[in-house]
């Protein structure tokens, strides 16, 4: 059965009714507009809505701090010392990884630096990085600072894939063209979740033409959504590392 999209309000309301995740709406506080109705909230990538359980959870941590002091590191309801272990299982389920492959730590920018310090090993013949434009500013600063740290010029080493004039997303062919144009330098690719799929498609093609040392694995999550099942065979193996950095 072919899915047909419509901009009609009735269509949108019907989609809401059929949404299997619709009950999660009641678990969050929604900002209220001047007319007293709930606002439609699209800022989830910057600051998500506050979960209704957040107050209780935070108060528990404050109570543990007040009652236990430094002993809360080991004796709190959720011990602070091993907090990363508490988050390990749900984080693994969220991204389709194994618990031994994930850890919650630091901020995004710090983690980008740690990842590049580990994986970015530029040479005179392989030093370029391909990323989306515009990206979150701190992401760009982190990438540029790593390039400079290794003695290269961001103006030469950083390749930016931009949407065409009047468009909002980067076309696959734009990424492929950049990879092919700089194939002799074997660019490294980096993209966040919004651009993941585009880089996947491009690299599936780029790998065939120019070779690649990247290999990624997944543990079934990519097949959990309808569109993912259709594409799993082609790109699932490339999914995981493309969430932040993939060497091609």
Could you tell me the domains of the chain?
A: 54-101 (no CATH), 108-247 (3.40.640.10)
pLDDT for position 233? 37
Instruction: Tell me what pLDDT residue 248 has.
Output: 36
The predicted structure's pLDDT at residue 57: 94
- SS3 state of residue 129: strand
DSSP conformation class of 40: P
Residue 168 pLDDT grade (very low, low, confident, very high; cuts 50, 70, 90): confident
pTM recorded for the entire structure? 0.56
Lowest mean pLDDT among 83-87, 89-93, 201-205: 201-205
Q: Which 3 state secondary structure label does DSSP give 51?
A: strand
User: Among the listed ranges 21-30, 59-68, 106-115, 189-198, which one has the minimum average pLDDT value?
Assistant: 189-198
pLDDT-derived band at 46 (thresholds 50, 70, 90) equals confident
Instruction: Provide the token pair at 113.
Output: 């630096």
In a 10 Å sphere around its CB, with 0-12 CB exposed, 13-18 middle and 19+ buried, how is residue 160 labelled?
A: middle
In 3-state terms, the chain is what percent helix, strand and coil (to 5)? Answer: 55, 10, 40
Residue 91 has pLDDT above 70, yes or no: yes
């Amino acid at each position: 059965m072919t899915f047909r999209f419509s901009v009609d309000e009735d269509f949108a309301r019907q989609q809401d009714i059929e949404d299997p995740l619709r009950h999660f709406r009641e678990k969050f506080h929604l900002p209220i507009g001047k007319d007293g109705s709930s606002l439609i909230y699209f800022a989830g990538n910057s600051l998500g809505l506050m979960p209704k359980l957040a107050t209780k959870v935070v108060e528990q941590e404050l109570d543990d701090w007040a009652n236990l002091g430094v002993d809360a590191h080991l004796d709190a309801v959720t011990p602070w010392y091993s907090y990363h272990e508490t988050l390990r299982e749900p984080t693994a389920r969220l991204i389709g990884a194994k618990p031994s492959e994930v850890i919650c730590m630091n901020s995004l920018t710090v983690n980008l630096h740690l990842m590049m310090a580990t994986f970015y090993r530029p040479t005179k013949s392989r030093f370029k990085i391909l990323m989306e434009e515009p990206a979150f500013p701190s992401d760009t600063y982190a990438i540029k600072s790593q390039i400079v740290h290794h003695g290269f010029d961001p103006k030469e080493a950083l390749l930016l894939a931009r949407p065409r004039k009047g468009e909002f997303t980067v076309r696959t062919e734009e990424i492929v063209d950049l990879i092919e144009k700089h194939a002799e330098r074997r660019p490294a690719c980096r993209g966040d979740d919004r651009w993941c799929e585009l880089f996947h498609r491009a690299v599936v093609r780029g790998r065939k033409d120019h070779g690649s040392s990247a290999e990624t694995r997944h543990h079934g999550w990519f097949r959990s959504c309808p569109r993912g099942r259709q594409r799993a065979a082609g790109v699932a193996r490339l999914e995981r590392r493309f969430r932040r950095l993939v060497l091609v």
